[in-house]
Structure 1
């Protein structure tokens, strides 16, 4: 088991449905998310920066 800290970006405009579910699905490609947080959102581009801890 490897625990890793990652950062990803999500385009909020492309999210259909609930944002938290979309974030969890995006994080699944990196591993099983333990916790995550939206750290910034660019209001001009609607890109959200996500920091997460995942288990690989």
Structure 2
């Protein structure tokens, strides 16, 4: 098992609950998320940047 630091740009959602689901689904594509955080929000472009640590089976 290895860990990876990743970043993702996600479309801003209508509600915080929807945003969390979309972020978690996107991170699952890269591996199993250990932790993640929204690091910036661009209101004009309706995007959020997320940094995460994920584990991947070797």
Gaps of 5+ in 2: none
Q: What is the RMSD computed on CA atoms of the aligned residues?
A: 1.7
Q: 3-state SS of the aligned residue for 1:30? A: coil
Query: What TM-score results when the alignment is normalised by the length of structure 2?
Result: 0.85
Q: For 1:12-51, what aligned pairs fall within 5 Å after superposition?
A: 12-13=12-13, 18-51=18-51
Which portions of structure 1, spanning 4 or more consecutive aligned residues, are displaced by more than 6 angstroms? Answer: none
2:13–2:19 contact (8 Å) kept in structure 1: no
Would the aligned equivalents of 2:2 and 2:55 in 1 still touch at CA under 8 Å?
A: yes
Deviation at 1:14, TM superposition (A): 8.0
Question: How far apart, CA to CA, are the structure 2 residues paired with 1:14 and 1:31?
Answer: 26
Task: Report the count of equivalent residues.
Answer: 55
